[in-house]
Amino acid sequence: MKKPKPATPSEIKIAVCDKGFVYVGRCARDGDMLIISNANNIRYWGTSKGLGELVNGPLAGTKLDPVGTVRVPIHALILLIDVVSSKWNI
């Protein structure tokens, strides 16, 4: 039996997944899964120039829904966006 690799350290990132789901939380890889802890679904970006505006934290119009821990198969991950962690209260 193959021993799974340990998860990488958790960092706050925005995860864009297939089917239009966008989450922000502490991301770590565990084998073929991305584990997003303290996750919030970004239901409404509240931006005028795209998702990248959230790198420095949520805006006044951003709508976040807490969802706990999300497990995303790596094949369903579209991209990860690095954020300024201190600007997110996660």
What CATH number is associated with residue 31? Answer: 2.30.30.100
Per the domain annotation, does 1 fall within a domain? Answer: no
Per the domain annotation, does 16 fall within a domain? Answer: yes
Expressed as residue numbers, the domain containing 42 is 11-87
Residues 6+ apart with CB under 8 A from 45: 22, 51, 53, 54, 59, 61, 62
In tens, the pLDDT along 65-88 reads 999 999 999 999 999 999 999 999
Per the domain annotation, does 5 fall within a domain? Answer: no
Per the domain annotation, does 6 fall within a domain? Answer: no
pLDDT at residue 84, rounded to an integer: 95
Q: Considering its fold, how many domains does the chain have in total?
A: 1
Per the domain annotation, does 49 fall within a domain? Answer: yes
pTM of the entire structure? 0.87
Q: Would the pLDDT of 39 be above 90?
A: yes
